[in-house]
């Protein structure tokens, strides 16, 4: 490989210092990218290898159609969790101030977020404070890998909280494998042109441990991940009825239909005809546990058409039994908490103290106190015992 060279004799695995990846690591990254392009390796594994080689928190290769802004593909890897990625797509993408930085790209130059968003801006911005920093991310640099008349492909690099921002010295090293990244993506795009293009969001759902189903306004199931397959076939209340999502019980079926209707998938959220999410608690069937069903409205204009060109709903299923640990994603969606608040609420509900939370999440007690205050306010409680009771019970139906 002539495009990527590390200093001779440097020990493999030195990428942890965020400086000089070993040549063997770069060769592995390049090979993995070509394997992903050929369809013989998952893209998230290839992206994860690149994060390991360069000491990145996460990275993303994002293809969009210039005319509509719709998403063609999104490949990512690193330390950001699939749950946080889902929250980003369905909620925080709409308020991400860093999206505008793409317009500053010229040719193959790099744009660094710290040169446009200073500390005062970050301290007051919802995206940074509610989502990015609590998730563990901080710095970003972006460049364009492919710029064609119809398609633009971005490469976005992300560093973690507590690391320095990107600089040209770092991105120059990434540029040494730029040609290979571009070639791999062009191979992928050519393969996609030769077969039906899959919806970009489905790759995200496949790696989620939660059961997730995609439905349209008629309850037609358009996609479901492996965990959802197991739930629908496991004898619980939620079932696949000839391709449509339904409940075994008449009451559950009516409640499910009513919740889907409140999302206003055939209308516009701007016009007040729908809500962003709804929750339904379905009774157990044949000795099975109850199921909490979270419905998220996904509107193409707010999600880069990641799940298609028409509105749909993501149905996230969570069994309600004592053997199932609290899922911060479900807790956050149920009570309208930020990702950081959801992590805190779930930990407190499991009996941890605020001091435990600060230690486990590697944050200050002042930060945890602020988050606890936010959780208490949103749940309408004043002490941890009441929070535990409310979180463990979860609402029977909530539309917000």
Beta bridge partners of 68: none
Note whether 69 and 118 are same-domain residues.
Answer: yes
Whether residue 1 is contained in a domain is answered as no
260 near 217, Cβ under 8 Å?
A: yes
190 CB-near residues (< 8 Å, 6+ apart)? none
Span 352-370, average pLDDT: 86
- Model pLDDT, residue 327: 79
Q: Are 250 and 297 in contact (CB under 8 A)?
A: no
352 and 249 both lie in a single domain: no
Poorest-pLDDT segment among 3-17, 18-32, 52-66: 3-17
Residue 84: per-residue pLDDT: 87
Indicate if 183 and 224 belong to the same structural domain. no
Range of 54-68, 77-91, 106-120, 384-398 with top mean pLDDT: 106-120
Split at pLDDT 50, 70, 90, the class of 394 is low
Same domain, 83 and 162: yes
The whole-number pLDDT of residue 167 equals 95
Mean residue pLDDT across the chain:
83
Q: What's the confidence (pLDDT) of residue 158? A: 97
Give domain status of residue 8, yes or no: no
Looking at the fold, whether 305 and 337 belong to one and the same domain comes out as no
Task: Check whether residue 315 and residue 349 sit in a common domain.
Answer: no
Q: Any idea what the CATH number is for the domain that residue 164 is in?
A: 3.30.450.80
pLDDT at 7: 37
The mean pLDDT of 98-113, rounded to a whole number, is 92
Evaluate whether residue 85 is within a structural domain: yes
224-236: average pLDDT: 87
Residue 206 lies in a domain: yes
| Residue 276 shares a structural domain with residue 172 | no
Task: Report the C-alpha gap between 113 and 111 in whole angstroms.
Answer: 7
Residues 85 and 149 reside in one and the same domain = yes
Is there a domain that residue 3 lies in?
no
Say yes or no: 74 and 120 in one domain: yes
Q: What pLDDT does 5 receive?
A: 37
Tally of domains within the chain = 3
Which of 197, 223, 246 marks a domain boundary? 197
Residue 398 inside a domain? The answer is no
Judge whether residue 2 has pLDDT over 70: no
Identify the residue with better confidence: 53 or 218: 53
> Where a domain ends, among 181, 197, 213?
197
Region 352-365: mean pLDDT is: 85
> What is the CATH classification number for the domain harbouring 213?
3.30.450.20
Distance CA 199, CA 1 (A): 33
Length of the chain: 400
**Residue 324's pLDDT band (cuts 50, 70, 90):** low
Burial bucket for residue 233 (CB in 10 Å: 0-12, 13-18, 19+)? exposed
In a domain, 5, yes or no: no
Q: Please indicate, yes or no, whether residues 192 and 51 belong to a single structural domain of this protein.
A: yes
Most confident among 48-62, 217-231, 296-310 (mean pLDDT): 48-62
Query: Residue 369, CB half-sphere, CA atoms under 13 Å: how many?
Result: 3
Domain-terminating residue out of 288, 307, 324: 324
**174-225, pLDDT tens digit by residue?**
999 999 999 999 998 888 776 655 667 888 888 888 899 999 887 889 999 9
Asked if residue 77 is part of any domain, the answer here is: yes
Please indicate, yes or no, whether residues 137 and 93 belong to a single structural domain of this protein. Answer: yes
Do 42 and 189 sit in the same domain of this protein?
Answer: yes
How far out from the chain centre does Cα 60 lie?
Answer: 12
Domain of 176 in residue numbering reads as 14-197
């Amino acid at each position: 490989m002539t495009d990527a060279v590390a200093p001779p004799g440097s020990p493999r695995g030195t990428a942890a210092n965020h400086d000089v990846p070993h040549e063997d690591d770069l060769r592995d990254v390049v090979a993995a990218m070509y394997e992903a392009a050929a369809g013989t390796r998952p893209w998230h594994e290839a992206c994860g290898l690149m994060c390991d080689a360069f000491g990145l928190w996460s990275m993303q290769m994002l293809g969009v159609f210039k005319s509509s802004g719709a998403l063609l593909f999104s490949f990512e890897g690193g330390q950001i969790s699939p749950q946080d990625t889902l929250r980003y797509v369905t909620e925080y993408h709409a308020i991400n101030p860093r999206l505008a930085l793409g317009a500053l790209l010229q040719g193959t130059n790099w744009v660094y977020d710290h040169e446009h968003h200073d500390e005062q801006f970050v301290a007051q911005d919802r995206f940074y404070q509610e989502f990015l920093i609590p998730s563990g991310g901080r710095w970003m640099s972006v460049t364009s890998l492919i710029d064609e008349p119809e398609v633009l492909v971005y490469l976005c690099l992300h560093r973690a909280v507590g690391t320095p921002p990107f600089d040209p010295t770092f991105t120059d090293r990434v540029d040494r494998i730029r040609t290979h990244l571009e070639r791999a993506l062009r191979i992928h795009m050519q393969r996609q042109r030769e077969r039906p293009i899959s919806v970009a969001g489905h790759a995200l759902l496949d790696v989620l441990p939660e059961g997730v189903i995609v439905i349209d306004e008629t309850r037609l199931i358009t996609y479901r991940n492996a965990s959802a397959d197991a739930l629908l076939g496991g004898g619980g209340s939620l079932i696949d009825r000839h391709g449509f999502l339904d409940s075994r019980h008449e009451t559950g079926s009516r409640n499910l239909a009513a919740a889907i209707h409140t999302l206003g998938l055939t209308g516009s959220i701007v016009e007040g005809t729908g809500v962003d999410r709804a929750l339904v608690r379905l009774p157990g069937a044949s000795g099975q546990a109850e199921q909490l069903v979270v419905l998220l409205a996904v509107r193409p204009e707010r999600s880069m058409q990641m799940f298609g060109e028409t509105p749909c709903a993501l149905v996230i299923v969570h069994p309600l039994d004592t053997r199932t640990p609290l899922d911060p994603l479900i807790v956050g969606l149920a009570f309208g908490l930020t990702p950081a608040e959801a992590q805190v609420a779930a930990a407190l509900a499991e009996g941890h103290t605020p001091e435990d939370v600060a230690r486990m999440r590697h944050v200050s007690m002042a930060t945890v106190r602020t988050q606890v205050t936010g959780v208490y306010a949103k749940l309408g409680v004043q002490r941890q015992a009441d929070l535990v009771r409310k979180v463990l019970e979860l609402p029977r139906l909530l539309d917000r």
